[in-house]
Copies of this chain bind each other. A is one copy, B any other.
Amino acid sequence: MVAGAEIVITRTVTMEEGVRLESGAVLKPITVAYETYGAPNARRDNVILVCHALSGGAHAAGWHPGASKPGWWDDMIGPGKAFDTRRYCVVSSNVLGSCYGTTGPSWLAPEAGVPYGARFPVVTIGDMVTVQAALLDRLGIGTLLAVAGGSMGGMQALQWAVSCPGRVRSVVALATTPRHSAQQIAFDEVARRAVMGDPAWRGGDYYGRATPDAGLAVARMLGHITYLSDRGMARKFGRAREAGGAPAYSLDREFQVERYLDHQASSFVRRFDANSLIYLTKAMDYCDLAAGHASLADALAPCRAAFLLLSFSSDWLYPPAQLEEVAEAVRAARTGGEPEVAHHVIASDHGHDAFLLEHREQAPIISRFLANVVQ
């Protein structure tokens, strides 16, 4: 870690009353892991909720003691950064179903006394928002200045506008979609089948035993391809071989891109719970902001928040057209005089990962947008 870096810790809050899920099931108790950066002002109207993507957690910024790298959006959150902690109080929590401190399938099921495994109830993006709202209640925070996130985090940000339209003054959604398409569902289903087809998965009851590493690795390798762009991969790896020179004519990993995927997958397998991958991809597949409404415009109509939508030219997992649909739906419900609705398509070769990498491009846009919301 770097000298002078901000040390942060993850806190938890347990809600004995639990939460009623979209499915009708009640999950209780629940524990939520969260971090905060910066401080609320006297009116408590400077709070920004940041929502993480599939593999993220509450640790969005700063450094944990002894860590070798900072939180997942440290480029964006901190003093003088896009989410400027000298002005704003940023709250970040781990989503329901994940494996970084918030209740998920690896937790002991009360009464049963064994981990939930596949008996954990299916959760939705809406359920994640319900839990985040309950956390903010506990923290004494009413209306948010902004809710922000990319990918699955962007789905949560958009869901806030539908679920709690009066509680958000602005929505910042990056590299995301108002609903999972057939192709997006299909990629997730391949990932789930890779995990569930691994004999070590054992119907989800692998805790305390060998974990389904081979299946989870395949799922993550596939994920990584969808996070990068064709052109970005060509530029970064091309057809380069690890050893250089002549073909090995073997079945082993040989091309640099193969070793990259293997490395990424090995690292993920060590840090992520396979059941959480199943539950979080399922939550994304259920994502459809317009469900239960006449249209997407109808779903978003009650929300008078400012919207900043950022997509990336080479993101083929969540193509810019999906966020343009959100922009059009929000605009369709407005009559003039409401806050800004902007959709920027940022030119990038970084594919879906761009929202984690293109901070130089996106930071000034977000910074200006938030300043306008404050005014």
Known: A122-B250, A180-B239, A286-B247. A233 touches B186 (CB 8 A): yes
Q: Name which residue of chain B comes closest to A215, CB basis.
A: B197
Query: Hey, what's the 0/1 contact readout for A248-290 against B, CB within 8 Å counting as 1?
Result: 0111010101100100000000000000001000100110100
Question: Is A221 an interface position by the 8 A CB rule?
Answer: yes
Bound Cα distance A183, B224 (Å):
10
Q: Name which residue of chain B comes closest to A287, CB basis.
A: B239
A198 / chain B contacts, CB cutoff of 8 Å: 197, 214
Interface of A is mostly: helix
Distance in Å: Cβ of A87 to nearest Cβ of chain B = 40
B23:A249 contact, CB within 8 angstroms = yes
B194:A218 contact, CB within 8 angstroms = yes
Partner of A230, one of B183, B199, B258: B183
A214 / chain B contacts, CB cutoff of 8 Å: 193, 197-198
A181 / chain B contacts, CB cutoff of 8 Å: 230, 233-234, 238-239
Bound Cα distance A366, B228 (Å):
36
Q: Which A residues fall within an 8 A CB radius of B?
A: 21-23, 25, 118, 121-122, 179-183, 185-187, 189-190, 192-194, 196-199, 214-215, 217-218, 221-222, 224-225, 228, 230, 233-234, 236-239, 247, 249-251, 253, 255, 257-258, 261, 278, 282, 285-286, 288, 316, 319
Top 7 closest pairs, chain A to chain B, by CB: A197-B214, A23-B249, A182-B233, A182-B237, A122-B249, A182-B257, A183-B230
Q: List 18 A-B contacts (CB under 8 A).
A: A21-B249, A122-B250, A122-B251, A180-B239, A181-B230, A182-B234, A182-B237, A182-B239, A182-B255, A185-B257, A186-B257, A186-B258, A189-B255, A192-B251, A194-B194, A194-B218, A197-B218, A198-B214
